[in-house]
C-alpha cells in the first residue's frame, strides 16, 4: 500500500512536471506493459472483474453493470464468476495477474483466501478494488466500495420489529405493541464473508435490548452468529436449519412470530420451510414476519403478495459506478475519493472505503422505490422474474 502510494506520488509528480500525459499509472509507473506504462489509453487497458457466483441474482447484476461501466469508459473488461468455489476464484485472479491486467475489481467468496493473489497483484503494481465484500488479512487492498453494511443489519432489525408490531410506521415503539413475548429465530450469512458480521452486529444492535427486556424471545437459544450462520449463503442450508428448528422447538404449541434473515434467497428457503410446516401462506394468514436483503425480483414479488415481509434495497448500479470510477482514478494516477476511512479494518490495514446508503423495502413502498425508479417494471414484480 505504502509502496504503491509512494509510486503514485511519483506519477503525480511526473504529471506536474508535464513529462507525460499519463493515463495508466494508477498502479505505479514502472510496469512492463500498459499497467503503469504511462501512455496507455483506456482502449489498451483491461480490468479484471472477479465475482463470486451466479446463483445470487445480485452478483449477475453487479457483474453486468461493472462490465458495462468499464466498457463505456473505453476499457476492456474481463468478467469472471467463480461458482462459489475458492480455488476457481484464486485461479481466475492468478490468470488476470499473469495476463498483466491493469486493475482488478474483486468480490471475494472467502475474503481471507486471496492473500497470495493480492501479494502478486501488488508486486505487479496492479491496483485492487475490493468490491462489496472486504478482502481481509492483507494490506495490498487499495480501495473498498460497498454499502453501509452495519445499516443493512439495523434496517433488517427495524423491519422485523415493525412487522411484529413492536415499532410503529415511524420506527418508534408502538403504543399498541403486543403484550405477549414474541418468538423469533435469527439467521446470519457466511462467516467467511466480512459483511455477514456487519449485518449481524447491526441487527443485534437493534434487537438485543428487546431480547434482554423480554419483548422478544429466541426459543432455540441460538443467539450467536456462529449458531445462526449459513455457510456460503446457501438457500438449502437455511431452509434445512429452519426445518430443524421447527421440529426441535416448535413441535408443540410454541408459536413463531418472526425470522431475521440476512438475504433474499435465504428468506425464500425459510419461507418454504414455514409454509410446508403449515404456518400460513401469507402474513395475513399467519406466516411469520421474514426479513431479507438485495431486493431480488422473486422476493419483491413475494413482498407484493404479502408473503415475505421486507428486504433491503442496495442499488448495485451505483456500487458498480463507484467501482468503475475507483478503477478509472487509479488508472489515471489518482486516488479515488473515500467517504469512510475508519470502519473497515481488514486485519492488516484500514482500507479507505466508499459506502453507499441502503433502503428498506416493504409492501407499502416497493412501488415508489423500485418501480417508479425503473429498477423493476410492474410486470417483473408480478411475474417474479427479471
Cβ nearer to ligand BGC, comparing 56 with 143: 56
Q: Does 267 bind ligand BGC (CB under 6 A)?
A: no
Find the binding residues for ligand BGC in span 39-58 (CB under 6 A).
56, 58
Q: What residue number has its CB nearest to ligand BGC?
A: 263
Contact 193, 242 (CB under 8 A): no
Find the binding residues for ligand BGC in span 93-132 (CB under 6 A).
132
Q: Does 376 bind ligand BGC (CB under 6 A)?
A: no
CB of 55 to ligand BGC, least distance (A): 8
Q: Does 197 bind ligand BGC (CB under 6 A)?
A: no
Which residue in 11, 263, 302, 331 binds ligand BGC (CB under 6 A)?
A: 263
Q: Does 138 bind ligand BGC (CB under 6 A)?
A: no
Q: Does 268 bind ligand BGC (CB under 6 A)?
A: no
Q: Does 192 bind ligand BGC (CB under 6 A)?
A: no
Number of residues that bind ligand BGC (CB under 6 A): 11
CB of 251 to ligand BGC, least distance (A): 31
Which residue in 158, 195, 299, 346 binds ligand BGC (CB under 6 A)?
A: 195
CB of 316 to ligand BGC, least distance (A): 8
Which residue in 293, 299, 301, 353 binds ligand BGC (CB under 6 A)?
A: 293
Tell me the C-alpha distance between 252 and 26, whole Å: 63
HSE at residue 267, side-chain half, CA atoms within 13 A, is 33
CB of 150 to ligand BGC, least distance (A): 12
Contact segment (CB under 6 A) with ligand BGC among 187-195, 339-347, 351-359, 376-384 equals 187-195
Which residue in 34, 102, 193, 315 binds ligand BGC (CB under 6 A)?
A: 193
Q: Does 133 bind ligand BGC (CB under 6 A)?
A: yes
Find the binding residues for ligand BGC in span 58-77 (CB under 6 A).
58
CB of 155 to ligand BGC, least distance (A): 13
How would you write the chain as a 3-class SS string? CHHHHHHHHHHHHHHHCCCCCCCCCCCCCCCCCCCCCCCCCHHHCEEEEEECCCCCHHHHHHHHHHHHHHHHCCCEEEEEECCCCHHHHHHHHHHHHHCCCCEEEECCCCCCCCHHHHHHHHHCCCCEEEECCCCCCCCCCCEEEEECHHHHHHHHHHHHHHHCCCECCCCCECCCCCCCCEEEEECCCCCCCHHHHHHHHHHHHHHHHHHHCCCEECCCCCCCHHHHCCHHHCHHHHHHHHHHHHHHHCCCCCCCCEEECCCHHHHHHHHHHHHHCCCCCCCCCCCCEECCCCCCHHHHHHHHCCCCCEEEECCHHHHHHHHHHHHHHHHCCCCCCCCECCCCECCCCECCEEEECCEEEECCCHHHHHHCCCCCCHHHHHHCCC
Q: Does 150 bind ligand BGC (CB under 6 A)?
A: no
CB of 320 to ligand BGC, least distance (A): 13
Cβ nearer to ligand BGC, comparing 133 with 309: 133
CB of 237 to ligand BGC, least distance (A): 12
Rg, Å, the chain Cα set:
23
Q: Give me the residues that bind ligand BGC (CB under 6 A), please.
A: 56, 58, 132-133, 189, 193, 195, 233, 263, 293-294
Amino acid at each position: 500500500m505504502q509502496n504503491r502510494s509512494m509510486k503514485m506520488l511519483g506519477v503525480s509528480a511526473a504529471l506536474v512536471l508535464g513529462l507525460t500525459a499519463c493515463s495508466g499509472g494508477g498502479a505505479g509507473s514502472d510496469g512492463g506493459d500498459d499497467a503503469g506504462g504511462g501512455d496507455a489509453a483506456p482502449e489498451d487497458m483491461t480490468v479484471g472483474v472477479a465475482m463470486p457466483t451466479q446463483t445470487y441474482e445480485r452478483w449477475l447484476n453487479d457483474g453486468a453493470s461493472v462490465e458495462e461501466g468499464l466498457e463505456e469508459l473505453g476499457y476492456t473488461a474481463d468478467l469472471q464468476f467463480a461458482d462459489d468455489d475458492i480455488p476457481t476464484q484464486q485461479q481466475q485472479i492468478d490468470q488476470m495477474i499473469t495476463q498483466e491486467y491493469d486493475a482488478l475489481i474483486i468480490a471475494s467468496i472467502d475474503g481471507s483466501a486471496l492473500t497470495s493473489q493480492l501479494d502478486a497483484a501488488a508486486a505487479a503494481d496492479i491496483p485492487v478494488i475490493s468490491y462489496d465484500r472486504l478482502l481481509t488479512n492483507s494490506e495490498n487492498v487499495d480501495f473498498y466500495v460497498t454499502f453501509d453494511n452495519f445499516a443493512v443489519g439495523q434496517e433488517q432489525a427495524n423491519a422485523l420489529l415493525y412487522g411484529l408490531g413492536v415499532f410503529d410506521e415511524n420506527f418508534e415503539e408502538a403504543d399498541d405493541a403486543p403484550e405477549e413475548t414474541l418468538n423469533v429465530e435469527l439467521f446470519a450469512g457466511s462467516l467467511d464473508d466480512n459483511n455477514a458480521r456487519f449485518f449481524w452486529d447491526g441487527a443485534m444492535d437493534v434487537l438485543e435490548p428487546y431480547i434482554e427486556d423480554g419483548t422478544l424471545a429466541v426459543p432455540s437459544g441460538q443467539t450467536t452468529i456462529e449458531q445462526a450462520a449459513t455457510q456460503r449463503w446457501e438457500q438449502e442450508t437455511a431452509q434445512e436449519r429452519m426445518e430443524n428448528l421447527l421440529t426441535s422447538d416448535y413441535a408443540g404449541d410454541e408459536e413463531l412470530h418472526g425470522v431475521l434473515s440476512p438475504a433474499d434467497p435465504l428468506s425464500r428457503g425459510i419461507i418454504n420451510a414455514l409454509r410446508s410446516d403449515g404456518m400460513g401462506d401469507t402474513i395475513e394468514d399467519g406466516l411469520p414476519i421474514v426479513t431479507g436483503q438485495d431486493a431480488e425480483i422473486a422476493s419483491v414479488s413475494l413482498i407484493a403478495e404479502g408473503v415475505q415481509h421486507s428486504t433491503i434495497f442496495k442499488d448495485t448500479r451505483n456500487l458498480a459506478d463507484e467501482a468503475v470510477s475507483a478503477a478509472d482514478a487509479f488508472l489515471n494516477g489518482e486516488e479515488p475519493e473515500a467517504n469512510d476511512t475508519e470502519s473497515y479494518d481488514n486485519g492488516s490495514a484500514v482500507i479507505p472505503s466508499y459506502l453507499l446508503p441502503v433502503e428498506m423495502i416493504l409492501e407499502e413502498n416497493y412501488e415508489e422505490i423500485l418501480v417508479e425508479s425503473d429498477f423493476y417494471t410492474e410486470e417483473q414484480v408480478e411475474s417474479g422474474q427479471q
